[in-house]
Amino acid sequence: MNNILVFPMIVPILAAMLLLFFRSNRSIQRWGSVGAMAAVFLISMWILQQVMRRGILRLDFGEWLPPFGITFVADIFAVLLVTVSSLVTVLCLVYAAFVKDEKRESFFLYPFSLLLAAGVNGSFLTGDLFNLFVCFEVMLLASYALMTLGGEKKQLTEGIKYMLINILSSWLFLLGIAYLYGTLGTLNMAHLSLRIAEAGQPPLLTTISILFLVVFSLKAGLVLYFWLPGSYSALPAAISALFAALLTKVGVYALFRTFTLLFYHEPSFTHTIIGYMAAATMIGGSIGALAHRDVRKIASYNVVIAIGFILVGLASYNEAGIQGSIYYLIHDIVIKGLLFLLVGTIVHLTGKSRFDEESGLIANYPLFGWLFFIMILSLGGIPPFSGFAGKLFIGEGAIGAGHYGLTAVAFLSSLFVLYSLLRVFLIMFWGESTIMSKNQVPLPIGTLAPLLALGILTTVLGLGMDVLSPYISEAADVLMNPDLYIKGALQNN
């Protein structure tokens, strides 16, 4: 019955393989991939309801019982992320289908995007550390291909750096796995958690935990984000939106899993380090967001700031903080997708990426301009939109844990987020229109539709906090009480 758990990973893979046979038929490529991800979204909604009703679900591959076989473990946290990321992937693919970048489409843009989604969903669902590594690699290989697809000079040079950094971090990941297997003799996450708890996390294990912290920080862009702005700003809109919405979030998810399920016995050491790293990330990201004039760079640095902000919740390590992080993680997947699609559309419409070279866009594209404004408000955490709940709870958690300095940095960074994008809005959208209406590049309703959908989604998520809150508190409950996860992941039923 629990076989449904494998669907979020297997459906995109099968669809990607099928699409390989229809290279010349673009409309099958476009709508086939959208359909596959929409199916994944519906399936994960169903799984979400099941998990809510029946508790943590588990799938043992090949009937190998845990801790011996590979398992997929679906707790609310994982399934929530699968659901939201599938939905955002659908919208990014719809956008790509209307932009019709034929050069990239004929070189398997959609199959690679589907494989990326498969890796992301697999990483969220797996209950085995080595399987997490494999899913990371599935996701990364697809991302290498997407990164360099099109073969522009900038993409290639940034692609080499991106790939090298990720090869190194995967190497460190394997190193951590080797050490962990050498000391504890298991790789099932629930089983690892049990054994670490039995041993009481001696200094050796804490050292290994720092290795994992480095690995996942590289993936998530926590402090070690130097590779991120360059590579994300070299990509076309739909792909960069996929990257910004999904890739760093998988790193954040892995950080949450490792430091709430495995290495949670020495929070005064590990979680304090995470707190300092989060502060450094937010400060560095804010400086970057203010220093650049290229809108794509500004957007990329906003990704960095958000990563720091989410991890403030983990650093506080209490119920409110974790809840806030989950809210903010969901919000961030949606809003970063929207931000990158909007920024990509601006570059597509004007042909310019510096914000001081263009003005008065709102006269040409009124709906688009207001959408950009809503996105800024939501990103800054202004109440009716989805960013607010996360900010509120993270702030509450950080103050509850006594991290006053960190709270101050977190909320100052929100101001910088607001400022960096309002500046773009004021200069690019207001003022004298420089584009004559006859020279105006048309903005088809098809490309605008996914943007509109994401805009509505962020509003609905903000207004429908009450609907979401039982899921979030349940997810935070499982994260704060590793016993619940262990029971679901190891007990035979």
- Beta carbon nearer to another protein, 232 or 365: 232
The tokens describing 261, both together, are 């399920």
Among residues 431, 434, 251, the alpha carbon closest in space to that of 349 is found at 434
- Beta carbon nearer to another protein, 151 or 383: 151
Read off φ and ψ for residue 416, nearest 5 degrees.
-65, -40
Question: Cβ 66 to another protein, closest distance in Å?
Answer: 14
**Which residues contact another protein (rule: CB under 8 A)?**
130, 133-134, 137, 141, 144-145, 148, 151, 153, 156-157, 159-160, 163-164, 167-168, 170-171, 174-175, 177-179, 181-182, 187, 292-294, 297
* Angle (nearest 5°) at CA 93 between 91 and 96: 115
Helical packing angle, 270-291 and 404-424, nearest 10°: 20
Question: Cβ 338 to another protein, closest distance in Å?
Answer: 25
CB 446 within 8 A of CB 34: no
Question: Cβ 394 to another protein, closest distance in Å?
Answer: 32
CB 443 within 8 A of CB 364: no
Residue 346's alpha-carbon distances to 33, 296, 448, in angstroms, are 25, 10, 12
- Beta carbon nearer to another protein, 30 or 297: 297
Torsion 77-83-86-88 (CA) sign: negative
- Beta carbon nearer to another protein, 131 or 260: 131
Question: Cβ 192 to another protein, closest distance in Å?
Answer: 14
Tell me the CB-side half-sphere exposure of residue 2, using CA atoms within 13 A: 20
The shares of helix, strand and coil residues in the chain, as percent rounded to the nearest 5, are 80, 5, 20
Cross-strand bridge partners of residue 74:
57
Q: How many helices (H) does the chain have, and how many strands (E)?
A: 22, 2
Helical packing angle, 109-125 and 7-19, nearest 10°: 170
- Beta carbon nearer to another protein, 288 or 482: 288
Residue 75's alpha-carbon distances to 48, 119, 187, 276, 466, in angstroms, are 9, 18, 18, 29, 20
User: Alpha helix locations (H) across 185-294?
Assistant: 189-199, 203-220, 228-232, 237-242, 248-257, 270-291
- Beta carbon nearer to another protein, 179 or 419: 179
- Beta carbon nearer to another protein, 30 or 296: 296
Question: Cβ 190 to another protein, closest distance in Å?
Answer: 17
Question: Cβ 25 to another protein, closest distance in Å?
Answer: 26
Question: Cβ 64 to another protein, closest distance in Å?
Answer: 12
Residue environment code for 1-22, b if the CB has 16+ CB neighbours within 10 A, otherwise e: ebeebebbbebbbebbeebeee
Question: Cβ 184 to another protein, closest distance in Å?
Answer: 11
Question: Cβ 288 to another protein, closest distance in Å?
Answer: 11
Using a 10 angstrom Cβ sphere, with 0-12 exposed, 13-18 middle and 19 or more buried, the burial of residue 117 is: buried
Question: Cβ 414 to another protein, closest distance in Å?
Answer: 25
The tokens describing 142, both together, are 């697809």
Question: Cβ 186 to another protein, closest distance in Å?
Answer: 9
